[in-house]
Amino acid sequence: MNKYSVLKQPADVMRELAEKSAALRKQKGYSQTELARRSGVSLGSLRRFEQTGHISLENLLLITQLLGRLTDFNKVLKPIEDLAEIEKLFSDRTKK
pLDDT of residue 70: 96
pLDDT of residue 88: 73
CA distances to 37, 49, 56 from 44, in Å: 11, 8, 12
CATH number of the domain at 10-95, please? Answer: 1.10.260.40
Q: Which residues contact 43 (CB under 8 A, 6 or more apart)?
A: 32, 33, 36
Judge whether 47 and 32 are in contact, CB under 8 Å.
yes
Residues 65 and 35: their CA atoms lie apart, in Å, by 11
pLDDT tens-place string over residues 35-81: 999 999 999 999 999 999 999 999 999 999 999 999 999 988 888 77
Provide the residue ranges of all domains of the chain, joining segments of one domain with +.
Answer: 10-95
* pLDDT at residue 94 tops 70: no
pTM to 2 decimals? 0.76
